[in-house]
Structure 1
């Protein structure tokens, strides 16, 4: 028996003892540019990984090429039970399992939606996570540099500009890609 087959035996035993209902999806923060190796190592270790990928056109010095890159830089997803969290944390390239004081599971619907879009081969690109009510800054267009509170009315995004002294406000309609959250 080789060392490799011994590892495989351990992996099979771990999967057999973790019922599907005990396993949840978690976000795993990886070291820089380690998303794909982490995915491969988790899979080899018997953990179910998911890494949403995005095709992007990159300019090289002599030509433009299409490359496949992780949709969320620095993150990979995996489904496992909390009893396997040490195995995940010891995987080379893993920085931590995302959560405040303990690993926080991700809703199944969110992962299913990402998997569905990924399998449909639709174009995806990362964007800022904009939350209604949060303060944003306009990053392009004639209003660049303007800060306000983001709200949403029907299909349009709006930026509320306040004049607090007179307790009045104005709503400016704006495209979501024209603003970025203020950190």
Structure 2
């Protein structure tokens, strides 16, 4: 069984993952908590880490069962085949979201275009390219999997 990357309708990631779980599939929809401002209040809400993408663990034979959920658009393709996320990549995303080791990192004077290498975790020695640096977030491009990761760095400075 492998993790397939599924494209969903916009703003349907969480609902689609819940429907697929109800169908008995193993689904992972990484979410983060953000504070949203309305005119009369602030509220913490859970939002997907990757807009319009979820992960489904399935066999090649059963992978088309994802189309039973109405929010599924299709598979993310890479080189003409359905994209597969490695188990260690899924575990690394889970670790990031659980802050398993982020307290050990110290970021100093990074700028756009810098190449950084992870020194710990399941993607140890993997290289990322800094795309954008803000006061509280940094965007990293992971060329091996073709993803742009936005990480909150306010707690690790």
Same fold (TM over 0.5): yes
Greater Rg, structure 1 or structure 2? 1
CA distance in 2, matches of 1:33, 1:84: 25
Quick one: structure 1 residues 177 and 44, their matched pair in 2 at CA, closer, same or farther if it must change by over 3 Å?
same
Q: Would you say the 8 A contact 2:2–2:59 is kept in 1?
A: yes
Quick one: structure 1 residues 28 and 175, their matched pair in 2 at CA, closer, same or farther if it must change by over 3 Å?
closer
Alignment correspondent of 2:38: 60
Q: Which runs of 5+ in 1 are unaligned?
A: 1-22, 124-137, 139-148, 156-173
Compute the displacement of 1:71 (Å).
1.0
Paired positions, count:
117
- Out of 94, 112, 116, the residue aligned to residue 95 of structure 2 is 116
Is the partner of 1:76 in helix, strand or coil? strand
Compute the displacement of 1:120 (Å).
4.7
CA distance in 1, matches of 2:98, 2:24: 22
Quick one: structure 1 residues 175 and 25, their matched pair in 2 at CA, closer, same or farther if it must change by over 3 Å?
closer
Quick one: structure 1 residues 121 and 58, their matched pair in 2 at CA, closer, same or farther if it must change by over 3 Å?
farther
- Out of 105, 121, 133, the residue aligned to residue 177 of structure 1 is 133
Alignment correspondent of 1:20: none
Matches of residues 125-136 of structure 1 in structure 2 within 5 Å?
A: none
Alignment correspondent of 1:3: none
Compute the displacement of 1:122 (Å).
9.3
Matches of residues 38-77 of structure 1 in structure 2 within 5 Å?
A: 38-77=16-55
Instruction: Please give the per-residue CA displacement for 1:126-152, whole angstroms capped at 9, x wherever unaligned.
Output: xxxxxxxxxxxx9xxxxxxxxxx8243
Q: Which runs of 5+ in 2 are unaligned?
A: 103-110, 119-129, 142-157
Instruction: Please give the per-residue CA displacement for 1:96-118, whole angstroms capped at 9, x wherever unaligned.
Output: 11113221211111101112233
The normalised TM-score by structure 1 is 0.55
Q: Would you say the 8 A contact 1:89–1:97 is kept in 2?
A: no
The normalised TM-score by structure 2 is 0.63
